[in-house]
């Protein structure tokens, strides 16, 4: 079975475990920056403009698309949740902009790359923070999560039986160090944001959704790992208890990733 979440891996960041110090990452960033220009992109006002048609193309999995599906659900925006069967993918691949999924079609115009899609929808629907600097922090955390995914890839491949290997060894040598490195950072960020159930600011952003869904996947392979990171766990709890999302999680197709 293909593991969609290990496609489109990004890379950035140090290979060593950073020491988590008190580096004054306080809630100062919530106060905003004087002289900072407002974001140029105002969310589409659905009452004055015709809503675009949205079609989200992905595999039958949560993977890199779930964050975007969640935003449609949370904003009550209709969208076509197009889940492509694996055997149809080879024929479709070359019709996509980059040979990858997900691809979002907005009034028929394609947009590839999961985080570009998520960010676009987050701006449209108000899940992108309240100042440009907050938005930048949401992006920084999302990129950090992409690095995490890239580092976890060899473990996922073995854990899901796609590649031969010693699952326990991979867990100890690959997964646990990656989790410790990245989730220590997330814990610090969540705490310094006031342990309010969000990573940035005081309302839901797309990175809250992204992390929550990754936790769901990793927890199925390494149960209870999140207990060491209570502030992060609190973000996930808040996300999954948001009424519309709670309903979606109960009724959505059940997939391993």
Taking CB under 8 A as the criterion, the residue among 46, 84, 111, 222 binding another protein is 111
Closest approach, Cβ 220 to another protein, in A, equals: 25
CB of 241 to another protein, least distance (A): 28
Nearer to another protein, 21 or 48 (CB): 21
> Which one of 1, 92, 140, 256 is in contact with another protein (CB under 8 A)?
140
Nearer to another protein, 17 or 53 (CB): 17
Give yes or no for residue 176 binding another protein (CB under 8 A). no
Binding status of residue 8 toward another protein by CB under 8 A: yes
Site string for another protein, 75-104 (x = CB under 8 A): ----------------------xx------
C-alpha distances (whole Å) from 117 to each of 71, 89, 106 are 11, 20, 10
Taking CB under 8 A as the binding criterion, the range among 80-88, 139-147, 163-171, 217-225 that sits at the site for another protein is: 139-147
Q: Name which of residues 142 to 171 contact another protein (CB under 8 A).
A: 143-144, 146, 150
- For 50, the token pair is 């015709």
Judged by CB under 8 A, which stretch of 26-34, 77-85, 198-206, 244-252 contacts another protein?
Answer: 26-34
């Amino acid at each position: 079975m293909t593991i969609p979440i290990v496609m489109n891996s990004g890379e950035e960041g140090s290979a060593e475990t950073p020491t988590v110090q008190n580096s004054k990452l306080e809630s100062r960033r919530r106060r905003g920056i004087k002289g900072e220009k407002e974001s140029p992109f105002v969310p589409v006002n659905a009452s004055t403009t015709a809503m675009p048609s949205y079609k989200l193309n992905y595999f039958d999995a949560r993977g890199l698309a779930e964050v975007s599906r969640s935003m449609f659900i949370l904003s009550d925006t209709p969208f076509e949740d197009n889940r492509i069967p694996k055997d149809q993918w080879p024929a479709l691949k070359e019709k996509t902009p980059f040979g990858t999924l997900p691809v979002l079609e907005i009034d028929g115009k394609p947009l590839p790359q999961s985080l570009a899609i998520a960010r676009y929808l987050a701006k449209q629907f108000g899940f992108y923070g309240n100042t440009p600097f907050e938005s930048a922090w949401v992006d920084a955390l999302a990129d950090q999560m992409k690095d995490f995914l890239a580092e976890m890839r060899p473990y996922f491949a073995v854990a899901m039986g796609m590649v031969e290997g010693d699952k326990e060894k991979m867990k100890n040598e690959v997964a646990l160090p990656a989790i410790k490195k990245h989730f220590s950072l997330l814990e610090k960020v969540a705490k310094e944001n006031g342990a309010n159930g969000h990573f940035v600011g005081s309302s839901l952003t797309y990175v809250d959704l992204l992390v929550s869904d990754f936790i769901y996947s990793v927890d199925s392979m390494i149960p209870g790992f999140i207990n060491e990171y209570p502030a992060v766990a609190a973000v996930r709890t808040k996300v999954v208890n948001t009424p519309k999302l709670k309903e979606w999680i109960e009724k959505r197709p059940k997939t391993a990733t």
